[in-house]
Structure 1
């Protein structure tokens, strides 16, 4: 271990594993360590089920009705992949897809007045949906056509809208859309968690709605994908990529000290040895003195013996509870997967409800989601602090990832990865360059 590396990475969360993969592909010499005995850190999938009981300090062992403990892979952080999103692009370009199998999530639902409704995934569904009245549907359709054709480089498509100035609220007014349709569009299609977006320039919202519809167009049932055997497969896939390009991995390594000289990182001390480095990437838990707490997320993992009511008995779905429906500032999300994804014993379902904490009674806040899941066989409640770096790494060359937020997909994680990449290298992350690098090394084998 007493060697010199370009980059040392601490923690095997998804953000860290993708960055170590990218740095290895770029030809950097990478050492990746984790104090835990498993991959994934906060974004791990826990197996067997007995380990989950221990992790949440539940007494005893899982009842026999839960089947074999080894049949379970339970995600700590519930997220799906947008089929046309940045993480899928990273997976395809780096060919980490060869280590993974994905299934499409079978449906997306939105909560309105105590009931759940399917988010329309085709024009036919939209016209048949009981979410809006007939005239609303016509106006909504016009709005969707406008969004689909909108091109910020072609003024003809803009209908007098300035993408950098016109607010999203003004666009909704332009199409005379009512409050419920606005809620549905902002929260179920653009996937905003709060209503702050309404008074910001519309370009980001338009791009988010496009991402949703393009992702949906790829597979039809929903815009989301999920890997068989759980999300913990993702960091492991990128770790393999890093290893192929010469990266070194060490689990179960206690980190004793991050060694600094003149305010700059020069190495990491573990078990009495020092590995030297020029740059360091890590999650907040390794450098608590360089991060600040910016909030909390409550996540409740629920084991069910039945699909969620009113979803047509599908084996996977997402439910969005828009904040306006339950007098909150942040949306509540439910992600459900099941035995069909090799993450639970036969006939079992895992539903994970999550939201940003707003009060000192987080379990009360998440109750609307829990009511949709009854009866619940076993639940595991976690309240996690969210951290972001106070040190951006310019001087110290320590680059710290952000905690995984309450969003239901990986777009914010990808934004964090691109941000760290830019701070480390001084240049923007370029998907095309990444692809070329892989071709250089594999040549024809990359096909």
Structure 2
């Protein structure tokens, strides 16, 4: 058991805001509150930053999932009272389940420390999206480097061929799958969308009517544009990135409206070539997504935020008479006080905490976060071969019904290589994810996706599982062979806003837009009238010899 007596006390003992957990929402809030002049204490029981948004070594990754797959109380014994406050023990809820690990090559375990695996993968950024704008606005790009995602593919057909996504004029011109008619149709559609947004201020001559903008996007492309099923699938699932099958509006859990679909298409096209060293639409941070929380924490520190790692919060302090929040008790026994508290999503707010009627909670479902009943099924696969020869980092989309008729959700795979420090040289890491409500069905579909993209070894001996078959007449390449894989289910959690607020787990999307929107609204409800992360000035930066790729 840890000897907490050797830890020095934290000073001061009173803050405007205490934040427990260093996940991305918590780290952004720490930076925003500090920039607004609030005194902020940022705590985490872990030895590293990131929490559920961390990038970890292979062994730390599995340990983290196992730890957060069960209810935990950081300290077994809590003294019942403290001065004028009652003490409510703080426990964590299990947010991961159905953990399955397969080790086909023991040498992978030996290289554990050379991996940087994202807990919230797959995830990336469009070059023109709101997260990249915030990174540039706050100057935290000085702490990070980025790599361009080389290509995007759609996996289709019984043999799961990878077909390049025709996402630009040049890509359409080079495409060898589309017919001449389909190429013309797609080119005309892209021009229509571009013209519509260029003339957006002239509502009288709008190229797309308000009625069409409010219609289902799939229906608009079919009935108004006359688009083929193949092209419609490209735009819906590989560019607009819809989660659910869109052709059946009555059964679809989240119908993508035309306006939202076109907005996503414009964002995609605006991202292509935004940065000279990132010719594609998407980028990924070197060393993993866990670099983002760290960068925002460094921004918070510049503004005076105090960060303390390896420091569990074991209890909340509440007023004896009213039952309202007053402060926290640490594992060291020290008691700290604040006006507000933010907890990472794995913590359970004690039932003994009295919460008066709070108008801030109204409209909470409009904060851009996913349905708390929804789950995300995630998997990571490690191989020696790329999904596509000569491609290091790429996206692969498996649209609804591409694996089986029961598949109602899109599955996304994101391959990374050693050039982003995700793994040792000559290896590849592939993240897969999909949203689901039924865990059994979700796992079934994820295993179908793994079988479609990889060869699952029949033997634990890697020498008996070859990736190429040679004969006198032909060489037939087969799918990459798995060396290691993990599959797990991640819960969603609801946002709570009060003097004690809860943040949220990573959602099932590839991008950070929903997360950033929800985090911004949470900050604005906590501190109305305050500016959310204003543009950095020269006094906000720490002088370091760090070069950014943005």
Larger Cα-atom Rg: 2
Structure-1 separation of matches of 2:282 and 2:324: 41
User: What secondary structure, in the 3-state scheme, does the structure 1 residue paired with 2:191 have?
Assistant: helix
How far apart are 1:265 and its partner, in Å? Answer: 3.2
Q: How high is the TM-score relative to the length of structure 1?
A: 0.88
The residue that corresponds to 1:124 in the other structure is 170
- Paired residues for 1:81-92 under 5 Å: 81-92=125-136
> Are the structure 2 counterparts of residues 289 and 408 from structure 1 closer, same or farther at C-alpha, using a change threshold of 3 Å?
farther
> Quick check: 1:419 aligned with 2:521?
yes
User: What secondary structure, in the 3-state scheme, does the structure 1 residue paired with 2:274 have?
Assistant: helix
Q: How high is the TM-score relative to the length of structure 2?
A: 0.73
Structure-1 separation of matches of 2:188 and 2:324: 55
> Quick check: 1:322 aligned with 2:402?
no
> Quick check: 1:373 aligned with 2:382?
no
State the number of aligned residues: 435
How far apart are 1:14 and its partner, in Å? Answer: 1.0
User: What secondary structure, in the 3-state scheme, does the structure 2 residue paired with 1:313 have?
Assistant: coil
Correspondence for 1:213 among 266, 269, 276: 269
> Quick check: 1:241 aligned with 2:299?
yes
Let me know the Cα RMSD of the aligned residues. 2.9
The residue that corresponds to 1:439 in the other structure is 537
Structure-1 separation of matches of 2:146 and 2:229: 36
How far apart are 1:404 and its partner, in Å? Answer: 0.6
Q: Cα deviations across residues 197-239 of structure 1 (Å, max 9, x unaligned)?
A: 9956422221111111111232565321111111111111111
> Are the structure 2 counterparts of residues 208 and 427 from structure 1 closer, same or farther at C-alpha, using a change threshold of 3 Å?
farther
CA contact (8 A) 1:297 1:385 kept: yes
> Are the structure 2 counterparts of residues 313 and 197 from structure 1 closer, same or farther at C-alpha, using a change threshold of 3 Å?
farther
> Are the structure 2 counterparts of residues 74 and 25 from structure 1 closer, same or farther at C-alpha, using a change threshold of 3 Å?
same
Correspondence for 2:338 among 270, 277, 283: 277
- Paired residues for 1:282-361 under 5 Å: 282-287=343-348, 293-308=372-387, 311-326=388-403, 327=405, 328-361=407-440
Q: Cα deviations across residues 292-342 of structure 1 (Å, max 9, x unaligned)?
A: 94122121111111111xx23211111111113233221111111111111
How far apart are 1:52 and its partner, in Å? Answer: 3.4
Correspondence for 1:190 among 218, 236, 240: 240
Structure-2 separation of matches of 1:61 and 1:35: 33
Q: Cα deviations across residues 339-377 of structure 1 (Å, max 9, x unaligned)?
A: 111121111111111112343423321133212133110
Q: Cα deviations across residues 173-195 of structure 1 (Å, max 9, x unaligned)?
A: 22111222222111111111122
User: What secondary structure, in the 3-state scheme, does the structure 1 residue paired with 2:409 have?
Assistant: coil
Structure whose residues are more often helix by fraction = 1
Structure-1 separation of matches of 2:32 and 2:174: 45
Q: Cα deviations across residues 108-127 of structure 1 (Å, max 9, x unaligned)?
A: 11122232211124313213
User: What secondary structure, in the 3-state scheme, does the structure 2 residue paired with 1:388 have?
Assistant: coil
How far apart are 1:15 and its partner, in Å? Answer: 1.2
Q: Which is worse superposed, 397-406 or 52-61?
A: 52-61
> Quick check: 1:52 aligned with 2:61?
yes
CA contact (8 A) 2:61 2:119 kept: no
CA contact (8 A) 1:107 1:221 kept: no
CA contact (8 A) 1:140 1:175 kept: no
The residue that corresponds to 1:383 in the other structure is 489
The residue that corresponds to 2:94 in the other structure is none
Structure-2 separation of matches of 1:263 and 1:142: 63
**Residue ranges of structure 2 left out of the alignment (5+ in a row):** 1-9, 67-100, 247-251, 352-363, 365-370, 456-480, 545-550
> Are the structure 2 counterparts of residues 427 and 112 from structure 1 closer, same or farther at C-alpha, using a change threshold of 3 Å?
farther
CA contact (8 A) 2:317 2:328 kept: yes
> Quick check: 1:93 aligned with 2:153?
no
User: What secondary structure, in the 3-state scheme, does the structure 2 residue paired with 1:92 have?
Assistant: helix
Correspondence for 1:147 among 189, 193, 197: 193
CA contact (8 A) 1:168 1:198 kept: no
The residue that corresponds to 1:75 in the other structure is 118
Q: Which is worse superposed, 4-13 or 286-295?
A: 286-295
Q: Which is worse superposed, 8-17 or 171-180?
A: 171-180
The residue that corresponds to 2:81 in the other structure is none
User: What secondary structure, in the 3-state scheme, does the structure 2 residue paired with 1:284 have?
Assistant: coil
How far apart are 1:63 and its partner, in Å? Answer: 3.3
**Residue ranges of structure 1 left out of the alignment (5+ in a row):** none
Q: Cα deviations across residues 129-155 of structure 1 (Å, max 9, x unaligned)?
A: 245322222222121112123234322
The residue that corresponds to 1:107 in the other structure is 151
Structure-2 separation of matches of 1:60 and 1:132: 40
How far apart are 1:160 and its partner, in Å? Answer: 4.8
Correspondence for 2:37 among 23, 27, 32: 27
> Are the structure 2 counterparts of residues 351 and 200 from structure 1 closer, same or farther at C-alpha, using a change threshold of 3 Å?
closer
> Are the structure 2 counterparts of residues 111 and 263 from structure 1 closer, same or farther at C-alpha, using a change threshold of 3 Å?
farther
Structure-2 separation of matches of 1:214 and 1:253: 43
